[in-house]
Amino acid sequence: MPVYIEKAPISNSDLIHITDTANNFSSDNVEGALAEVGNKLTDTVQTDSDGNSTIKGAHYTNVFDYTQAISDYYASNYDANGDVIITSRVGSCYSEYIPVKQGDAYIAHNALGGLTDRAMAIIFNANKKGIRRMMPTAEWDNRCYFTIADANAAYMIVNLNIAFTETISQLMVISGTVWPFSYIAHGITHYDNFILKPEANEIEVVLPKYIYGIKGEECRVYNRGVIKCVDPSHYYIYRDSGQTNVRYSYFPTTTAVSNQGGKKLTVKDQITGKIIAAKTSSSGLYITDPATKSNPLSVKNILVIGDSTTDSDTWVDEFGRRLTGAGGSPAGYEWTNYNFIGTNTDGTYNHEGRSGWTFEDFAYAPDDATHGRSEVTTNPFWNSGTASLDFAKYMTDNSFSGDIDYCVILLGWNDGLSLARTATTVGETAELFIDALHADYPNCKVLLCGINTSSPYPFNGTTLIPPYSLNKYALELAKVYDALASDATYSTFVKYVPVTACFDAEYGMQHSNVVANARTAETIRTCTDLIHPGASGYLQIADIVLATFLTLV
């Protein structure tokens, strides 16, 4: 739905004109116009049977696969044999062969800026021989609709412009006749490029199968950890039938007492009140009473593996203190037969936290050319003699007695940041690593932790990574890890630890207060580290890990 706003910014005192050409709607009244636009927007959203919101396939599908696109070239024509001619042009790209058939309709921006010597698309037969070169015309100004007319059409290549977009992954070739309801227009002469806004097809409720709590202690799930969008405060959020607090939701209990069944979390548009996304957790809140647990009769080894979040020692020391120590707040359980093993001995409790390390650094040979980081020259779990992971050798080499009874893994940030791995790929690495551990120690219980979300406050630093990109990755990884732990292959010995859902990113990250402006003494909160928690955030991670751990003992 192309919506044009002819004056910005919008306020109720502004006289603007809003036109929705696809739905024949026009208004000079701001509130009425926005309400109508909201109605049209939500008409493109439906709810699946499991409560997840998706975009109706009948409205549009992006057929452009940016991972297969070729940059700085375009398909200019085809020769006498029908073979495509590729020409160099910085700022352009062309798609791979996209399957088509007669009658298919598409919309794409005029990638080449209206220059008539450059094709918008080239149509090919089943043998990938060119049969038609589709050229820009006046009718394609801002409305780049085209239909495949040839009966023998089987493929097309579309040329797109990457010079005026933020990233090639946002480019679109839409299957259908309806424009996406959310897009960013980039003017090139009198043509528009449009790219998909991050939220247009990505807002999603991501609920873990289980939330774990400790009887008598605070147990909260934070909106930023379960709703994949730029800012959850822009929406009405409901738990079952009641609206939740703007910061936390789902189980906003301060003193968890008993188990609660699965609940539905719903995200609604503030203008129309219509549902944008919703999901019901399959199981719900699981509360453990520590009074029903006790010190094991024999020594049990706990191996904690992680990156710089673990290398800081803070959350591991608090987890260990609560489990084995006496006194403090909350008071320790004094279960002294739990023993923390690891070669990182900087803190009170040993572990294998290594700053900058990825899951791949722990899962593959240190000299593997295709996995992990080149600067990593050792792997404590790698047996070079057998070219495989060998946890029994790790125990022997470090003179650790007994078995690995519990393994807590908090990894994933660096796989996404340093290696640009997707959440799915990280999940595959996790499976490989856990498979090897399970083969050596089949009785070992694995706690696979989600990663913390990032602060919503302005970043007061030099390297800027949009918090939405970080949180999107964190929630995607949470889905992958939760699915792994729920899979029948792993569910008997792997638990997902819902750090992502239960971490307070607003107050658990590193912050500083700075003066808001030169005319006031008031300060604003800014974020000083987008990845690493502050002191209270580390303690939260320890609490979440402990609540999950108690379900296993």
Q: What is the per-residue pLDDT across 270-284, written as a single tens digit (0 to 9) for each?
A: 766 767 777 877 777
| pLDDT of 117 | 52
* Minimum mean pLDDT range among 138-152, 322-336, 389-403: 138-152
One-letter amino acid at 1 equals M
- Token look-up 């290594």 returns 354
Mean pLDDT of 168-191: 57
8-state DSSP, 523: E
One-letter amino acid at 519 equals R
User: Does residue 438 register a pLDDT over 60?
Assistant: yes
| pLDDT of 36 | 37
- 52 close to 277: Cβ distance less than 8 angstroms: yes
For 325, other C-beta atoms within 10 Å of its C-beta total: 18
The winner for highest mean pLDDT among 114-118, 119-123, 529-533 is 529-533
User: Does residue 138 register a pLDDT over 60?
Assistant: no
User: Does residue 112 register a pLDDT over 70?
Assistant: no
Helix, strand or coil, per DSSP, at residue 349:
coil
CB-based contacts of 353: which residues, under 8 Å, 6+ apart?
304, 305, 306, 307, 308, 309, 310, 311, 312, 313, 316, 342, 344
Mean pLDDT of 199-218: 80
- 312 close to 532: Cβ distance less than 8 angstroms: yes
> Above pLDDT 90, what percent of the chain?
54
Closest by alpha carbon to 410, among 330, 302, 490?
Answer: 302
User: Does residue 170 register a pLDDT over 70?
Assistant: no
- pLDDT grade, residue 85 (50/70/90)? very high
Q: Output 512 or 66, whichever has higher pLDDT.
A: 512
Alpha helices in 487-534 (DSSP H): 499-502, 505-508
User: Does residue 165 register a pLDDT over 80?
Assistant: no
| pLDDT of 270 | 74
Closest by alpha carbon to 323, among 346, 304, 305?
Answer: 304
> Above pLDDT 70, what percent of the chain?
75
Mean pLDDT of 241-251: 61
Closest by alpha carbon to 133, among 111, 151, 116?
Answer: 116
CA dist., res. 173 & res. 498, Å (int): 37
| pLDDT of 376 | 94
Helix, strand or coil, per DSSP, at residue 459:
strand
| pLDDT of 248 | 66
- Burial per residue of 514-530, b for 16 or more beta-carbon CB atoms within 10 angstroms, e otherwise: eeeeeeeeeeebbbeeb
Helix, strand or coil, per DSSP, at residue 188:
strand
User: Does residue 260 register a pLDDT over 80?
Assistant: no
**For residue 35, which phi and psi values (nearest 5 degrees)?**
-65, -45
* Minimum mean pLDDT range among 60-64, 89-93, 478-482: 60-64
Bridge partners of 85?
77
Looking at the domain that runs over 293-549, which CATH code has it been given?
Answer: 3.40.50.1110
For 298, other C-beta atoms within 10 Å of its C-beta total: 7
25-27: strand order across its sheet = 3-5, 18-20, 25-27
What are the tens digits of pLDDT across the range 336-388? 999 999 999 999 999 999 999 999 999 999 999 999 999 999 999 999 999 99
- 531 close to 459: Cβ distance less than 8 angstroms: no
User: Does residue 265 register a pLDDT over 90?
Assistant: no
| pLDDT of 317 | 98
CA dist., res. 257 & res. 6, Å (int): 55
Closest by alpha carbon to 400, among 477, 440, 340?
Answer: 340
70: left (phi over 0), alpha (psi -120 to 50) or beta: beta
Kindly state the greatest CA–CA separation across the chain: 85
| pLDDT of 281 | 74
* Minimum mean pLDDT range among 31-40, 218-227, 387-396, 440-449: 31-40
- pLDDT grade, residue 164 (50/70/90)? low
* Minimum mean pLDDT range among 39-53, 137-151, 322-336: 39-53
Bridge partners of 529?
none
State the pTM of this model: 0.67
- pLDDT grade, residue 184 (50/70/90)? very low
Helix, strand or coil, per DSSP, at residue 297:
coil
CB-based contacts of 2: which residues, under 8 Å, 6+ apart?
20, 21, 22, 142, 143, 179, 183
According to DSSP, the β-strands at 300-306 and 338-341 are parallel
* Minimum mean pLDDT range among 74-88, 331-345, 433-447: 74-88
| pLDDT of 66 | 78
CA dist., res. 467 & res. 297, Å (int): 46
* Minimum mean pLDDT range among 66-80, 162-176, 435-449: 162-176
